[in-house]
Structure 1
Amino acid sequence: MSHRDRGDLSAVHGNGNGSVRARFTLFTGVLVTVLSTALAAPGAARAAGPGHMTHPDLDWLGSQIKIHEGAGAAAGDSKVVTSSKITQTPGMDVSSHQGNVDWPGAWSKGAKFAYVKATEGTSYTNPSFTQQYNGSYNAGMIRGSYHFALPDVSSGAAQADYFVAHGGGWSADGRTLPGALDMEYNPYGASCYGKSASGMVSWIQSFSNEYHAKTGRYPTVYTSTSWWTTCTGNSAAFAKTNALWIARYSSSPGTLPAGWGYQTFWQWADTGTFPGDQNKFNGALDRVKAYAKG
């Protein structure tokens, strides 16, 4: 075999946790691949393939909803309204994508509450969690944490346990919101994670019940009406126990999932005045504090 029969190709893929370097060597039609992986971020996933995380730092609250449903509301849209005349309290949510956040700056611009990504699946923790979770609290905000669900990786109860053990707990101090469960399109495959509607409802119940057993609170459920309808069959099973955090990047929350007569939180834009996503609590600040205290 001559050197003309051999070719070398190298590529580097950044995944938010480090990089994967692949060298492809072609010998007369046979492709030999050598991979060297450098994963640096704390809590980074070490495996690829179905059910495994390869880019958890790109999976934040609403990242997949924007991809699948679009973002209709302009940042800072003065036409954003709600279906009621109840006072709306502004807030934000962040993940490792924002890194170190200027919390005093966000507070000075009017953010009164914040949710911070804590975990994903059962092997990822946000490397910026401490700065974000403690920083928002120290700036004066009421804050909580959220879990990005991967229902095809492990049981709901297992992920609730992992969440609580890695920043997802709750205390009745009036400054800590109950944890939120992020239910949205699968960033690694089929939108509903290969589950039937009844299977998805069972998974969410498993997470919710375990979180309640561990903390005494039911988690806030974050979702979009479209995903919820498609992947749970528009279940009304959670409306009596779990507060709703609706995602809709438009001028109003729109039609809500079955059973919920109103939303508690509304994520209305993915950019704007505050770092991260823009949110409104459906009530005045004293109601935010009441919800935090339980």
Structure 2
Amino acid sequence: MHISKSEWLGVAVCFGALASMPNTVVKNSPVAMTTVKADTSYVENKSYGVDVSSFQSTDMSNYAQNGAKYAFVKTTEGTWYTNPKASGQVSSALANNMMTMSYHFAVFGNDAQKASAEANYAVNASRNVGVPAGSYVVCDWEAGDGNNINGPVEANTDAILSFMDTVNANGYKPMLYSGAYLMRNKIDTDRVVAKYPNSLWVASYATMGRIDEPDFEYFPSMNGVAIWQFTHNWRGLHVDGNINVLPLSKGGVSQAPSSVPATPSVDINQVIASASQSVAQKEQPAITSTTTDTNQDVPFTAVGRVNYVPGYGIMLWGQPGYKNALNRYLPHGSRWKIFKKRYINGSVYYNLGGSQWVDGKYIIIE
């Protein structure tokens, strides 16, 4: 989801849990170009939505015509950046019958005091651009722009809850967005959903190409998920695509259990149905002799090509496993010599020389 404060989209979202899966066939089905007449205060489950920043236009009509019933608009980052298009995007989303909410890119890391300050900044900006009271204001907690994701899990979670508490105290509904890998490894999501049930918005992609419809065999099963971001390029519109697995309302997620079974997935309104077992199997790939998690370097020489989104890039890391972001990006389609690799939690990371690593799921070996 993240666009940097200069609005250059390039941070690779952390989706480690699905890295070893093969790419799926993209479903590019015809789309009827009619605006969905959605209630702007309620969205039924299994509905599509988008999230936008200044990278996208202020005109949201095309998303609505393609079936989006809700929109998350980036309003802020840290305590210094406000999206100059936010007001126009909010107005257009509401005019197109889309339930309209906001998100804030966090840079507070594990600092609870800074988290509260950022939440106040986000809430004020959301009010100013017309996000209706009682709507979601989301904490987007991921790598990039100096956000430290490598603090202790409990401290990370304390800070995130501080943000969410401040949002709640100001009359908006808190939600947490992050990648599946970070939610499983860097955040105590059990604490989050215990306080704010069904408040998780998780990102995890089956492939980095265009996806029109989500394949629930790749759903990242975990407790408390309300929304799944399943693609970076929904229906060829170059916008993040999401599907809510629970009904959404301006006052929050509609009534549902405070805890959702992890396996089978979120069995709310039979969203996952019979696919849940294959989800569990795919999320825990068998470790073979070629993918042993030794956490040690394995000699490997090859040329790899970046396979991301045209016009964007992937983050270069100082250490494998999304550690020590170098704030440098390798553009889609560029080719690099690989010197070694390392397996961590079933995911492969490639070394490009020295302390320079990339996530292997974005690399095609030539």
TM-score range, shorter chain: 0.5 to 0.7
3-state DSSP of counterpart to 2:184: helix
Matched, 1:126 2:83: yes
Matched, 1:167 2:122: no
3-state DSSP of counterpart to 2:157: helix
- CA distance in 2 between counterparts of 1:131 and 1:74 reads 35
Aligned to 2:143: 185
Aligned to 1:51: none
Structure number with the higher helix fraction is 1
Aligned to 1:64: 12
Closer/same/farther in 2, CA of residues 73 and 116 from structure 1, 3 Å limit: farther
Task: Select the residue among 169, 186, 200 that pairs with 1:213.
Answer: 169
Aligned to 1:254: 219
Q: What displacement does 1:107 show?
A: 1.5
Aligned to 1:264: 226
Q: What displacement does 1:292 show?
A: 5.3
Q: How does 1:88-237 map to 2 (within 5 A)?
A: 88-98=46-56, 100-152=57-109, 155-167=114-126, 171=132, 177-188=135-146, 192=149, 194-215=150-171, 217-232=172-187, 234-237=188-191
The number of equivalent residue pairs is 219
Whether the 8 Å contact between 1:75 and 1:271 is mirrored in structure 2 is no
Matched, 1:288 2:245: no
- CA distance in 2 between counterparts of 1:74 and 1:128 reads 34
1:7-60 per-residue CA deviation (whole Å, 9 max, x = no partner) reads: xxxxxxxxx9xxxxxxxxxxxxxxxxxxxxxxxxxxxxxxxxxxxxx7441358
Whether the 8 Å contact between 1:146 and 1:179 is mirrored in structure 2 is yes
**1:265 aligned partner, one-letter code:** I
3-state DSSP of counterpart to 2:55: helix
**2:154 aligned partner, one-letter code:** S
Whether the 8 Å contact between 1:148 and 1:181 is mirrored in structure 2 is yes
Larger RCO of the pair (alpha carbons < 8 Å, separation 6+): 1
Q: Specify every segment of 5 or more residues in structure 1 that has no aligned partner in the other structure, as ranges.
A: 1-15, 17-53, 79-85
Q: How does 1:7-46 map to 2 (within 5 A)?
A: none
Q: What displacement does 1:209 show?
A: 0.9
**1:236 aligned partner, one-letter code:** D
Q: What displacement does 1:77 show?
A: 5.6
1:185-210 per-residue CA deviation (whole Å, 9 max, x = no partner) reads: 234475x1x52111101101111111
- CA distance in 1 between counterparts of 2:147 and 2:162 reads 22
1:70-127 per-residue CA deviation (whole Å, 9 max, x = no partner) reads: 795676567xxxxxxx9510111111111x2432222122111111100011111111
- CA distance in 2 between counterparts of 1:155 and 1:67 reads 26
Q: What displacement does 1:183 show?
A: 1.5
Whether the 8 Å contact between 2:45 and 2:248 is mirrored in structure 1 is no
3-state DSSP of counterpart to 1:159: helix
- The TM-score, its normalising length taken from structure 2, stands at 0.52
1:258-287 per-residue CA deviation (whole Å, 9 max, x = no partner) reads: x42xx211110000224511111124xxx3
- CA distance in 1 between counterparts of 2:94 and 2:177 reads 22
Whether the 8 Å contact between 1:246 and 1:256 is mirrored in structure 2 is no
1:238-266 per-residue CA deviation (whole Å, 9 max, x = no partner) reads: 11315111111123353444x42xx2111
Closer/same/farther in 2, CA of residues 65 and 77 from structure 1, 3 Å limit: farther
Q: Specify every segment of 5 or more residues in structure 2 that has no aligned partner in the other structure, as ranges.
A: 30-43, 207-214, 255-366
- CA distance in 1 between counterparts of 2:61 and 2:189 reads 40
Aligned alpha-carbon RMSD (Å): 3.2
Q: What displacement does 1:179 show?
A: 1.0
- CA distance in 1 between counterparts of 2:136 and 2:176 reads 10
3-state DSSP of counterpart to 2:170: helix
1:102-159 per-residue CA deviation (whole Å, 9 max, x = no partner) reads: 3222212211111110001111111111111111111111110000111248611101
Whether the 8 Å contact between 2:176 and 2:201 is mirrored in structure 1 is yes
Aligned to 1:81: none
Whether the 8 Å contact between 1:56 and 1:124 is mirrored in structure 2 is no
